[in-house]
Structures are given as structure tokens and as C-alpha cells.
Amino acid sequence: MNTFPTHAATPKPPYYAVIFTSLKSEEPEGYNDTSERMLELVHQQEGFLGFESFRNEHGFGVTISYWRSLEEIKKWKQNDPHLWAQEQGKKRWYKSYKVRICKVEHDYSFDSE
């Protein structure tokens, strides 16, 4: 049994994925606190299904969040504390980012156990 998070437990497709790649600034002041707070908040959002997140030694990372619908993705984008965090992201935390909104049409998996 794993004690760390692995594959997000998503339902049968179709559902949606937001692929957020980002390159962090060298000194992203306040990033960790806000990041934790956003994670708490997103878990309370209607339609949020789960996420997977990675960052490499160069400060480049990806967070993939999964959603039930496009409307619920939009509501999270317009959430007040999240709007503030998005502004901070542009001003302080990220050199660059890219957001891709995707419809998951098909999935399959393998488990050796």
C-alpha cells in the first residue's frame, strides 16, 4: 500500500482535465502558503474530482486537476481567493505558465496487484 498520493481516482469518462504547467520564479514569496490554501479550497469546489502535481529541480512543474464539467472549472477560475492567487501568480510566482482545458474522452489503467 502506498502512503503517498498516486493516480487520481476519477470516474468513467467523459470528464475534464486542466493541465497547468508552470515555471516558478527563483524566490516566489508567499507561494507555499497560498498554494496550500488553494488546495484546501479546491477540494471544497463542486465538481472537483482530484489532482496530480509534480515539480522538477528546474522549477518547472505541472498540476493536473480533474473536473466533472466545464462550468465547474469556470466557477473555480472565478472564485475570489483563487482570483487573488492568480494575480499573485502573474506578479510574483511564475516566470511563465500554460493552461490547457481538456475533455477526457477515454481512459484505461493497469495495476500489478
**Binding region for a second copy (CB under 8 A):** 2, 4-8, 10, 13, 17, 19, 21, 23, 52, 54-56, 58, 60-62, 64, 89-90, 94-113
- Our CB check for a second copy shows the closer of 3 and 44 to be 3
Residues 78 and 91: their CA atoms lie apart, in Å, by 18
Triad 6, 12, 18: Cα angle to 5°: 60
In angstroms, give the least distance from the CB of 93 to a second copy: 10
CB-wise, 40 or 105, nearer to a second copy?
Answer: 105
Nearer to a second copy, 13 or 30 (CB): 13
Least separation in angstroms between residue 110's CB and a second copy is 5
In 3D space, the residue among 15, 95, 84, 91 whose CA is nearest the CA of residue 51 turns out to be 15
Q: Which three cell numbers stand for residue 69?
A: 464539467
d(CA 83, CA 90): 11
